[in-house]
């Protein structure tokens, strides 16, 4: 029996039509309009349907067989469908049975499949469409969930340790430890954290309050480039502030920026500024400024001398050393003669020994004696005028005069 798809137009083949007299000669001129009956008998006693005006055509090269076109209305009732064609004076009665299937069932059964499997669309399970919908949600490949389903208690799982009650085996935990006890512990910790957050006096809540109160200041510590920013306003940086400045823009530090005594001797290490970090221009500038300041205000320009002639100076040494130097310099006349000699300096010079044991003072007296005709004060020499003349005669070198 041929199966037909419900509500679908289809061609079916009806035959063989043979001569009513001999019962075997094919009848090739049968028409539905001329036949005594051309009817459809539908399932479950539905009224007979006249098909005398349906499309009807003899099949070429197959005498006595015809193609009948059944419309979608002809196939609108699932179940047994019988085609009856009778013409008593021409041919023997012909009928054909067909089974009309629901469209989904027919498509699942007859639509070509490469795998050969049939499609199954379950609309209900035990006549429960909701159960079918839940099964679809559970197995549609998006989560395998069983929302709305009551799962039976699993008492034995083959290949695994049976889990009963609250004593579930946990990885890394002692045998028999309770998951509910762990949950209770975690809940206690969470409650403690929540309580600390709510504590605005000395808990995390207080820290949050402090942060919220100073949020504007914290926001101000970050520049537009995302880097830390120190305000140009006066800030109390009395505690240690470590700054690793890789680059300081020209003009970033000015005389107005650094307050008086902001950098003291104790805060600058001996090697804080390496020699190679001061270029020639910087060194020249320092020397020029030193010279300018010392000349502009020699009384107010102070120099702390650490060492004199290789000797380290202690507190208050510098003044005595400088005074000694000044006293010694006062003894030496300048080239323009503007400085007078004192008696001590003159005595020191004329009492110097210039020849043998004879001092300059004694030599001057001898010469004076010769010039005035007297001879005294010459020490042990006490020469006569004749001896003095002899000395001059032999060409005494008096360059020491």
- Spell out the domains of the chain, with CATH numbers in brackets: 2-110 (2.60.40), 120-147 (no CATH), 280-330 (no CATH), 346-393 (no CATH)
Residue whose C-alpha is closest to residue 4's, from 79, 85, 112, 56: 79
Confidence of residue 400 (pLDDT cuts 50, 70, 90): very low
Mean pLDDT of 364-375: 70
Q: Which residue has the higher pLDDT, 34 or 238?
A: 34
Beta bridge partners of 82: 41, 97
Residues 166-188 have pLDDT tens digits of 555 555 555 555 666 777 777 78
- 335-351: average pLDDT: 72
**pLDDT, greater one: 363 or 77:** 77
The pLDDT of residue 54 is above 70: yes
pLDDT of residue 268: 62
> Hunting for tokens 């032999």 — which residue is that?
394
Does residue 399 have a pLDDT over 50? no
Residue 255 has pLDDT above 80, yes or no: no
Q: For residue 25, which of 16, 33, 34 has the smallest C-alpha distance?
A: 16
State the average pLDDT over residues 141-145: 61
Q: What percent of the chain has pLDDT over 70?
A: 54
Task: Tell which residue, 214, 236, 232, 234, has the closest CA to residue 223.
Answer: 232
The Cβ of residue 79 has, within 10 Å, a number of other Cβ atoms equal to: 13
Residue 67 structure tokens? 């193609």
pLDDT tier for residue 122 given thresholds of 50, 70 and 90: confident
How confident is the prediction for the chain on average, in pLDDT? 75
β-sheet bridge partners, residue 180: none
> For residue range 176-228, what is the model confidence (pLDDT) as tens digits?
556 667 777 777 888 888 777 777 777 777 777 777 777 776 666 666 666 66
Using pLDDT thresholds of 50, 70 and 90, give the confidence band for residue 59: very high
Between CA 339 and CA 332 the distance in angstroms is: 8
Nearest to 379, CA basis, from 401, 399, 400, 355: 355
pLDDT in tens, 281-317: 777 777 777 777 777 776 665 666 666 666 776 655 6
């Amino acid at each position: 029996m041929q199966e037909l798809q419900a509500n679908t137009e289809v061609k079916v083949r009806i035959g063989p039509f043979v001569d009513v007299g001999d019962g075997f000669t094919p009848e090739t001129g049968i028409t539905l309009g001329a036949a005594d009956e051309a009817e459809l008998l539908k399932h479950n006693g539905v009224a007979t349907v006249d098909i005398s005006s349906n499309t009807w055509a003899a099949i070429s090269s197959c005498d006595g067989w015809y193609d009948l076109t059944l419309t979608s209305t002809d196939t609108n009732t699932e179940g047994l469908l019988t085609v009856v064609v009778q013409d008593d004076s021409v041919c023997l009665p012909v009928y054909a049975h067909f089974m009309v299937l629901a469209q989904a069932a027919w498509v699942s059964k007859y639509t070509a499949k490469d795998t050969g499997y049939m499609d199954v669309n379950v609309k209900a399970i035990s006549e429960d469409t909701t159960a079918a919908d839940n099964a679809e949600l559970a197995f549609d490949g998006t989560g395998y969930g069983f929302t709305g389903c009551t799962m039976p208690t699993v008492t034995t799982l083959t290949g695994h340790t049976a889990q009963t009650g609250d004593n579930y085996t946990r990885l890394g935990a002692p045998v028999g430890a309770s998951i509910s006890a762990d949950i209770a512990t975690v809940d206690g910790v969470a409650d403690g954290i929540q309580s600390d957050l709510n504590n605005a006096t000395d808990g995390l809540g207080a820290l949050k309050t402090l942060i919220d109160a100073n949020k504007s200041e914290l926001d101000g510590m970050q520049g537009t480039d995302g880097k830390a920013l120190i305000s140009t306003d006066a800030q109390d940086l009395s505690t240690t502030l470590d700054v690793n400045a890789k680059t300081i823009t020209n003009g970033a530090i000015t005389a107005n920026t650094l307050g008086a005594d902001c950098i003291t001797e104790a805060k600058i290490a001996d090697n804080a500024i390496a020699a190679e970090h001061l270029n020639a221009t910087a060194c020249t500038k320092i020397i020029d400024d030193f010279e300018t300041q010392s000349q502009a205000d020699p009384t107010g320009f102070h120099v702390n001398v650490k060492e004199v002639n290789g000797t380290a100076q202690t507190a208050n040494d510098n003044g005595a050393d400088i005074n000694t130097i000044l006293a010694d310099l006062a003894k030496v006349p300048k080239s323009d003669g503007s400085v007078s000699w004192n008696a001590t300096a003159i005595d020191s010079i004329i009492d110097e020994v210039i020849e043998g044991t004879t001092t300059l003072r004694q030599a001057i007296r001898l010469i004076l004696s010769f010039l005035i005709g007297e001879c005294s004060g010459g020490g042990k020499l006490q020469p006569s005028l004749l001896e003095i003349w002899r000395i001059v005669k032999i060409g005494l070198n008096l360059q020491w005069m």
